[in-house]
Amino acid sequence: IKPLTGVNNDGPSDAAVIQPKLNSGKGLAISCGMNPLYGDIDPYWMALSGIDEAVRNLVCVGGRADRIALLDNFCWGDCTKPETLGPLVRAAQACYDGAMAFEAPFVSGKDSLNNEFACEDGSKISIPSTLLISAMSIVDDINKCVTMDAKKASNLLFIVGQTNNELGGSHYYKMKDHLGANVPRLDLGMSPRIARKVSEAIAGGLVVSCHDCSEGGLAVALAEMSFAGGLGIEADLRGLPRSKDCTRPDAQLFSESNSRYVVEVEPEKFDAFAKVMLGVPFGQIGKVTAEQTLVVRAEDGQTVVEADIAALKQAWQKPFDW
């Protein structure tokens, strides 16, 4: 699996998969997770979110949730300053907590801890406190790997994991020049369990595509799956597992809550998939269609999104339209 995938090889893969030994069916999945916007609110949750995103990306392509190794890349300002050192300590504590929860050791890393620059006028500029998490996992059988593009009309779409009212540091807020405060958090007990369940379903051949919810939330994940596969999606937010305070459609669509996967399942495998998912939050949120549109209905039945997938792809590719 390469960084770009789909029917035209222009959809964003969750992770890459390589085959180190050509005479073996085993592979190695490689992924990343990072969101410096969260660090402007709380670097502890920024670090944990980066770990969870890297884990999700591995799981989405077929990596084993129980065979993960992590790497860190800290990029910070002048750590002799208490206001810079404090966030670093918070992020390091999160790395410990995340590694223990996922039983995934940090095997290497890189630190750049003095990224502060003096300007000609005497002022100083410090980079945002940023942590990049890289992750690797064993793939037992590369023939069972899945990609994120929607595969076939009439297939069912599920979301695994709960959506909370967590728009702080989101790209939705960034579009509105707002940072917010309710940064996505992580349930250290439930998140590894969800990862193992999705990993089990993929290994069992119950999943034909899988994509994590990260930047842009559920709405962007659905759009990416749709235009990467050249197929439409009809989604209904009434099937969304959510917290009681996550009632607004924009929060449900653009919250960047951790530990969420959009999963495509063939109808005849629904029962087997549902059995594997017992014990974790999941719900059917729609289906793949032959239409070239993404349609999303809110809990009251009103259509809140109706967009042509070609237009969605064009918007996604616009920054590189030179």
Could you read off the pLDDT of 18-42 as tens digits, one per residue? 999 999 999 999 999 999 999 999 9
The pLDDT value given to residue 320: 83
- Is 167 within 8 Å of 254 (Cβ atoms)? yes
Number of other residues whose CB lies within 10 A of the CB of residue 302: 9
Residue 322: is its pLDDT beyond 80? Answer: no
Comparing CA positions, the residue from 160, 143, 49 lying closest to residue 101 is 49
Could you read off the pLDDT of 106-157 as tens digits, one per residue? 999 999 998 999 898 989 999 999 999 999 999 999 999 999 999 999 999 9
Comparing CA positions, the residue from 35, 4, 6 lying closest to residue 215 is 35
Comparing CA positions, the residue from 158, 304, 156 lying closest to residue 241 is 158
Calculate the average pLDDT of the chain. Answer: 97
3-class DSSP assignment, residue 59 = helix
Residue 175 pLDDT level (bands cut at 50, 70, 90): very high
The pLDDT value given to residue 135: 98
- Note if the pTM is more than 0.85: yes
Could you read off the pLDDT of 291-300 as tens digits, one per residue? 999 999 999 9
- Is 13 within 8 Å of 148 (Cβ atoms)? yes
The pLDDT value given to residue 321: 80
What domains, with CATH codes, occur in the chain? 4-320 (3.90.650.10)
Residue 202 pLDDT level (bands cut at 50, 70, 90): very high
- Is 256 within 8 Å of 213 (Cβ atoms)? yes
